[in-house]
Structure 1
Amino acid sequence: MFKRWFTRDPASPPADIWRKARQQTPLLAALTPTEADRLAERAWQFLRTKRLTRHAELSNAPFEDAERLAIAGQACLLTLGWSDAEHREAFANVHEIVILPESFTREVEEMDEFGVVHEGVDERVGETSYQGPVVIAYADLIESGDFIGFNVLIHELAHKLDMGNSMDIDGFPPLPRSLSAKRWHAVFSSVWEDLNACLEKGLTPPIDDYAASHPGECFAVCCEYFFTAPDHLVNAYPALYELLCDYFNQAPLGRIKTA
C-alpha cells in the first residue's frame, strides 16, 4: 500500500493512517496539532528513504501501515525541533531498522581497570553502529511508545545522534552553536557522578542504572527519559532536562500533562 500512497501524495501520509498511528502511540498522540503535522511529514519521508525490515519469524502477522508510521514517528520525534536540513544530517547514518522477534546475544570482550580482558555473552534488546542498521527486539518495541521511561527505538537512535561526530558513542553528540560544550560536559558529568555515587553507596539511582555503565549509554538513557518520562527527569536532574530542552529544541514536559 505504501508505494501506492507515495505516488499519490509524496508530501504527507494519508490522514487516516497517521491518525491510527497516533492513536496507538501515546507519545505521538500527545503532540500539538502543529507538532503532529510537522512530524507526519518527517515520518513519511523517513519511510521513503530508510528501510524497515522485520525478521522472517514475524512475517506471520501483517506489517500494518500504521505500525510502520508509528515506528517512523517515534524515530523522527528526536529531531522534531530541528530544521529539515539538521534532521537529514542527524539521520544521515541511519539506513535501516531491523526488527527481531526477541532479545539477542552478542559475544563481548571487556577490559577491566587492571588491563585484564574478560570475555562473555551480552543479552541485548537493541544495538547499532556507526553505519550499521538499528537492530531492535520486537518484544521491546511493542512496549515502547508510551510515557513509561523506556523506548528502545529512541535509545538506539540517540546512539546514532551521538555518532554524528565520531564512529563510537561517547555521550558527546554534535551540538548546536547555541549550546556550549562546557555546559554539556558540566551537566552530564554531574549526572554521571551522582549515578555512580548512588551505586557505590548501594542506593537506587533516580534513573535506570544502565546509564552509569558508559557515557554513551548515559546519554541514550537520558534521551529515553526526556521523551518518555520528562516529569521524572526534571525532578531527578532539572539542569539535565533544561539542557536537553535546549539541545532538542523541544519541551516534552508539556506533552505528558495532556497525555
Structure 2
Amino acid sequence: MFDRLRRWRAERFEARHPLPAEAWAEARSRLPLLAFLSDEEGQRLGRRAWHFLHAKRTSMHPDLAAHTPFDEPAQLALAAQACLLTLGWSDDEHDEAFAGFHEILILPDAFHRQVEEMDEFGVMHAYEDERAGETSAQGPVVVAFPDLMESGDFSGFNVVIHELAHKLDMGNSLDIDGFPPLPRDMDPKEWHRVFTAVWDDLQAHLERGEAPPIDDYAATHPGECFAVCCEYFFSGPDVLSGAYPELYDLLTRYFRQDPLKRLPADELR
C-alpha cells in the first residue's frame, strides 16, 4: 500500500513538475562529475535532483544574491551533487537519508568558527577554524560560494559531497563519527576495521612528515575521514582506489556505485 502511495505521489509530482530537459543538460555540461554518467543514471539523477530542489530550500546570503546569478542549471547542478551520493539507493532510502535538513545556505566566502578541543594531556585549546562548509544536526547545510564553484570536477574536492556525507553520518546518532547507518548486508565490524586501517595510515604519514595520499583534513577526525573519503570516492576515485583499495571496495558496496568505471581515461592519474 505504501509503495503504491509513494509511486502515485512521484508520478503526480513528475506530471505537475516535469524535469526541465534543457536546464538539466546545461547542468551536466557544466560539471565533469555529471557529464560522464550513463543515460539511465543521468535521467535518474536529474529527476531526483529536481525533486530535491522542490523538497529543500536553496538560498543565498543577501550580499551574494545581490550580484551573483544562480540560474536553474546552477541550482540543478548543486542538487545533483548532493543526490549523487544516494544515486544507487532507492527513493525511500534517499528520502530517509536526507530527511534531517531542509535548506542549503550559500555564503559569499569561507567563514570562521571558534573551536575548542582537548588534547591527549587533558589541556583545552581554542583556535579559529576557517571552513568551506558546515553541517549541524538541526540546522541547514552551509557551503561557501567559491568552494561550491570549485566543486564538480575530478580533483578529489567537493564541498557539497563533503557536507552531505556528514548528513549521512548523522543518520543513526546525530553525531559526526564516521559511522553512518549501514545496510543489512554490510558488517559494522568490517566498516570499523577498514576505516581504522585508513585512519592509522593517515596518522603514520603525518608522523613521518609525509603527505598522505588523500587530503590531510581526513586525519583530523573520524567523521572528517569519512567525508573526505566520500569526496574522493566520487570525484577522485582513481586516487582513493589506488591508495586504499579495500576502502574503495567497501564504499562501492555502501553507495552501490562504482565511480571509477565512469572516470574518463584522460582523467586517470
**Category of TM-score, reference length = shorter chain:** over 0.9
Question: 2-side partners of 1:41 and 1:21: how far apart?
Answer: 13
- Give the aligned partner of residue 238 of structure 1: 245
- Give the aligned partner of residue 20 of structure 2: 14
Q: Which ranges of 4 or more aligned residues in structure 1 deviate by more than 6 Å?
A: none
Listed one character per residue, the Cα deviations across residues 212-253 of structure 1 (whole Å, up to 9, x for unaligned) are 110000000000000000011110000000000000000000
Q: How does 1:203-214 map to 2 (within 5 A)?
A: 203-214=210-221
Asked if residue 172 in structure 1 is aligned to residue 179 in structure 2, the reply is yes
SS of 2:121's partner is coil
Change in 2 beyond 3 A, CA 1:128/1:193:
same
Aligned partner (choices 45, 49, 52) of residue 46 of structure 1: 52
Q: How does 1:1-259 map to 2 (within 5 A)?
A: 9-10=15-16, 12-59=18-65, 60-257=67-264
The gaps in structure 2 that reach 5 residues or longer are: 1-11
Change in 2 beyond 3 A, CA 1:242/1:62:
same
Aligned residues between the structures: 254
- Give the aligned partner of residue 5 of structure 2: none
Question: 2-side partners of 1:46 and 1:12: how far apart?
Answer: 13
SS of 2:51's partner is helix
Q: TM-score, normalised by structure 1?
A: 0.95
How far is 1:257 from its partner?
2.5
For residue 130 of structure 2, what is the amino acid of its counterpart? E
Moved more, 6-15 or 24-33: 6-15
How far is 1:41 from its partner?
1.0
How far is 1:7 from its partner?
8.3
Aligned partners of 1:176 and 1:247 also within 8 Å: yes
Listed one character per residue, the Cα deviations across residues 16-70 of structure 1 (whole Å, up to 9, x for unaligned) are 0100000001111110000011101110110011010101122223220000000
CA RMSD of aligned residues (A): 1.5
The gaps in structure 1 that reach 5 residues or longer are: 1-5
Identity of aligned residues (%): 63
Aligned partners of 1:105 and 1:124 also within 8 Å: yes
